[in-house]
Structure 1
Amino acid sequence: MPASRCRLAPFVLALALPALAHAQDTSSQDDFARCLAGLAPKAAQARVQADTYQRYTRGLVADTTVIDSLNKQPEFVIPVWDYLSALVDQERIDDGKARLKQWSAVLERAQRTYGVDPATVVAVWGVESNYGQQFGQKPLLQSLGTLSCMGRRQEYFRGEFFAALRIVQSGDIGADEFKGSWAGAFGHTQFMPSTFERVAVDFDGDGHRDLIASVPDALGSTAHYLQMSHWQAGQPWGYEVKLPAAFDSKISGRTAKRPLSYWSAQGVRLVNGSPLPGGDEPAGLVLPAGAQGPAFLTLRNFDAIYAYNASINYTLAIALLSDRLRSQPGLVAAWPTDDPGTSRAERREIQQLLLARGYDIGTVDGMVGDKTRQAIQEEQRKRGLPVDDGRPGQRILKALRQSP
């Protein structure tokens, strides 16, 4: 290529880029419209009426940000002690106890109906949406429609898209109010549309099932979900335990269940040193941070919570929060780290201290995003701290507090 053309190419390209981007965007939206039109027969087979489908897909514009969320690989792996320190902090405990009092009549009725205790239901509410304060604001029909035509797992998201359309079609939730996470979960306790159809109940008796506008419907539906996941009324989720010296951790795992009598024979005790409860109820040993960290014997109700979201850390957050809502002691054993996690109040303090140092990190909200992590990393490097991982741990909090 002649040198003169090499020099001109960047300027020509710069002028052409906006038009190119517009053409690509227009082409993408045209492809999206064609995809939606092509899905109409499948929607009809899925019991979505033709006029419903036409009404809510006509003019629907793809939201490609949900594809970015679908494909995004987290840069930072969150240690279990960071995960739990934010989800089971004093704020969430205090707010949860207030909700237990505020909604006591509904929660007691849910327990009578489904056998699930109020503290567990409220703990799910607290972890899923911070008691209704963090729903997500993505229009669900737009998000699920986009995911039905673009990106990975289109077949799965088409099922959820059709379920969302059936929910609007039924009149349970209006399309304008139907908002949630980028992946389609919605309401106080974050059901997917297909789960809503299968499990949700009209617990306030107004003739509609609505997890967004009705707290009673959300709490009753959550209790119903746990009942359907084989919740055992009156039983604990499990126990924090203490392992004997030289314990063989190879026999651990939520699904590697053995009778409580077996664990007793292995020398496992409650964390306070007392013997395990008697009997042969199956229990799995969960070691979320390995044999050197806290240990838990988990029972059937732990599995019921796990069915809500297949994550050990998530299940443990609900289990431990429910204990605190019952005014039971918190976690006893220490996590195997020299830099423990921080509560949301402490994370807000970190953000305030970073703002005071001139970092542009956005809103002080206790939510640790990329900008906050990058600022923490820079401070870790400046101060010569042992790691520059961007974690909002106690070490960086202490360092920021101590220096002007």
Structure 2
Amino acid sequence: MRRLATRMVGLVALGAALAGPMLPGTVAGAQAAGCRNTGNFDSWLRDFRAEAQAQGLSRRTISSALDGLRFDPSIVRKDRAQGVFSQPFLKFSNRMVSSYRMKHGTRLLRENAAEFADLERTYGVPGPVIVGFWGLETDFGANIGNLPVLNSLATLAFDCRRPDLFRTQLMSALKIIERGDLRADQMIGAWAGELGQLQFLPKDYYELGVDYNRNGRVDLLREVPDVLASGAALIKSHGWRANEPWLVEVRVPRSMPWEQAGLEVHHRESTWSKWGVTRRDGSPLKSTGLESSLLLPMGRNGPAFLAYPNFDVYLQWNQSFVYATTAAYFATRLAGAPPRFAGNDKVDVLSFDQTKQLQRVLEARGYDVGGVDGMIGAKTRDSVRDVQAKLGLPVDGYPTQSLLRRLSGN
């Protein structure tokens, strides 16, 4: 999930099973997950009141926002629990890109066609991209959260894990109240402080929210025109390039230089074609003149995509590789692409516990996997690539049960 210079969304619509958003500083935050809170919350809150007053916020706003806030340990527990994004891409995308979301998203695109056309002219962002995030974040506004955002933000700003990030968010929430967009009691949302139908963190809400219907306030909870325009503005702020693709499904051969796969490697379509990569139907790749990366979310035997520069926007929205790929894939489906191909062969998937076991084995060999968290992030993939190369295996960066057995000596 993203809204910030790399925020990560709340995904309220996924339900209680989701641990919550991955936000800026997630890697450092994971390293600080074992930190211990010291000090007194009430004393901290008094200091924050003084800071808000020094920034020119009115006593009325400060009182309405901060009176009665308390430290909530349940929010801290949610912040420490990160597990949903450990799911493999096929499982996660099958769940998220449901028939309901496809039908409802397609209908919303049709019913709001004029507005989406205007937003694309203004911001360069296609309607399916906005609707894809809208559907995944809150089921198109049906599930925006039910927790008091101000209390959550204060708790996380006091907590030792990422205090600076959430202190900024709490101050931005007060500025939203001061501007007259929302009252304090209307700030109901997700546990990590996201607000509205696209789950904006308060700083993005305050700085990038658009009063598209010109009624004098930015309302991202109830006003759909404001929601969609603000989403387009946020996506553009992340560097979206108009009239360019973001993700295209492809087929890969049984053998190719697998070390060329990954977001850090870029080639033009002519190079991918030389190595046997084709369009999904087997026809030659279309030439866009752009460089792209070969994305193999489940290794060389699973689904395959070419990721273009616009795909980076998805990773800014949510740093989870699985979420970003699913959101981008959902947008291609809404834009008319068929359901994705499962891949060339059965994928040897590790369980959550097996992934953690692999990470421990790699750490014991001196690799930095970014923490033993059961999630196949960039550092784990890089470590797997290196060990695959040393063992003479195809270097696709995807860990398998056979690799785990080999490294474990079984």
TM-score w.r.t. length of structure 2: 0.71
- Structure 1 residue 89: Cα displacement: 1.3
Which residue identity is paired with 1:33?
D
Take 2:148 and 2:48, find their aligned partners in 1: how far apart are those partners? Answer: 19
Given candidates 156, 162, 168, the residue that maps to 2:165 is 156
Query: How far is 1:279 from its partner?
Result: 4.9
Which has the higher relative contact order, 1 or 2, with Cα contacts under 8 A spaced 6 or more apart? 2
How far the C-alpha of 1:206 sits from its partner, in A, is 0.7
What's the counterpart of residue 351 of structure 1? Answer: none
Contact 1:121–1:222, Cα closer than 8 Å, also in 2: yes
- Structure 2 residue aligned with 1:59: 68
Alignment length, in residue pairs? 313
Report the CA distance between 1:267 and its aligned residue. 2.2
Superposed CA offset, 1:8-53 (max 9, x none)? xxxxxxxxxxxxxxxxxxxx9x932221002233334545344422
Match of 2:96 in 1: 87
Residues 1:316 and 2:309 aligned together? no
- CA-CA distance at 1:311 after TM superposition: 2.3
Q: From 73, 86, 110, give the equivalent of 2:119.
A: 110
Specify the alignment match of 2:258 in structure 1.
249
- Does the CA-based 8 Å contact 2:304-2:343 persist in structure 1? no
Q: Is the 8 A contact 2:302 2:347 kept in 1?
A: no
- Aligned residue identity for 2:152: S
**Alpha-carbon separation, structure 2, partners of 1:304 and 1:319:** 10
Where does 1:15-164 land on structure 2 (aligned, <5 Å)?
A: 31-74=40-83, 77-164=86-173
Distance 1:339 1:288, change over 3 A: closer
Mapped contact 1:261–1:280 kept (Cα < 8 A): no
Change (3 A) 1:41 1:135: same
Within the alignment, does 1:205 sit opposite 2:214 as a pair? Answer: yes
Larger radius of gyration: 1
Against the structure 1 CA distance between its residues 279 and 93, is the aligned structure 2 distance closer, same or farther, given a 3 Å change threshold? closer
Shift of 1:292: 0.9
Identity of aligned residues (%): 32
Indicate the larger mover: 74-83 or 127-136: 74-83
Moved more, 306-315 or 48-57: 48-57
Within the candidate set 183, 189, 194, 2:198 is matched to 189
Secondary structure of 2:213's aligned partner: coil
CA distance in 2, matches of 1:158, 1:239: 39
**Which structure 1 residue ranges, 5 or more long, are not aligned?**
1-27, 341-404
Aligned ranges for residues 2-13 of structure 1 at < 5 Å?
A: none
Distance in 1 (CA, whole Å) between partners of 2:317 and 2:263 is 15
- Determine helix, strand or coil for the equivalent of 2:293: strand
Unaligned runs of 5+ in 2: 1-36, 350-410
- Measured at CA, do residues 335 and 147 of structure 1 come closer, stay the same or move farther in structure 2, by a change above 3 Å? farther
Q: Give the aligned residue type for 2:270.
A: S
Specify the SS of the correspondent of 1:285: strand
Distance 1:47 1:331 in 2: 52
Q: 1:76 to 1:189 in 2, by over 3 A?
A: closer
1:262 Cα offset (Å): 2.0
SS in 2 for 1:283: strand
Q: 324-333 or 132-141: which moved more? A: 324-333
CA contact (8 A) 2:71 2:154 kept: yes
The 8 Å contact of residues 301 and 346 in structure 2, kept in 1 or not, is answered as: no
Alignment-derived partner of residue 223 in structure 1 = 232
Residue type of the partner of 1:282?
Answer: E
SS, match of residue 305 in structure 2: strand
Structure 2 partner of 1:378: none
Query: In structure 2, what is the Cα distance between the partners aligned to 1:213 and 1:37?
Result: 33
Q: Report how far residue 339 of structure 1 moved.
A: 11
Which SS does the other structure have where 1:201 is aligned?
Answer: coil
Equivalence for 1:272: 281
CA change 1:56–1:279 in 2 (3 A) is: closer
Decide whether aligned partners of structure 1 residues 64 and 294 sit closer, same or farther in structure 2, where only a CA change above 3 A counts.
Answer: same
Structure 1: distance between partners of 2:291 and 2:219? 37
Q: 3-state DSSP class of the match of 2:276?
A: coil
| AA matched with 2:216 | G
Q: Taking structure 1 as reference, are residues 323 and 265 closer, same or farther at Cα in structure 2, changes over 3 Å only?
A: same
Letter in 2 for 1:287: L
| Deviations, residues 55-105 of structure 1 (Å, cap 9, x unaligned) | 422222222211110122439932221110111111110111121123223
The 3-state SS of whatever aligns with 1:84 is helix
Aligned-pair CA distance for 1:323: 2.4
TM-score calculated relative to the size of structure 1: 0.72
For 1:261, what is the secondary structure of its paired residue? helix
Separation in 1 of the partners of 2:243 and 2:82? 40
Mapped contact 2:41–2:158 kept (Cα < 8 A) = yes
- Quote the Cα distance in structure 1 between the aligned partners of 2:292 and 2:56: 42
Query: Residue type matched to 2:180 in 1?
Result: G
Q: Partner amino acid for 2:68?
A: G
State the match for 1:327 in structure 2.
336
Q: Which amino acid aligns with 1:226?
A: I
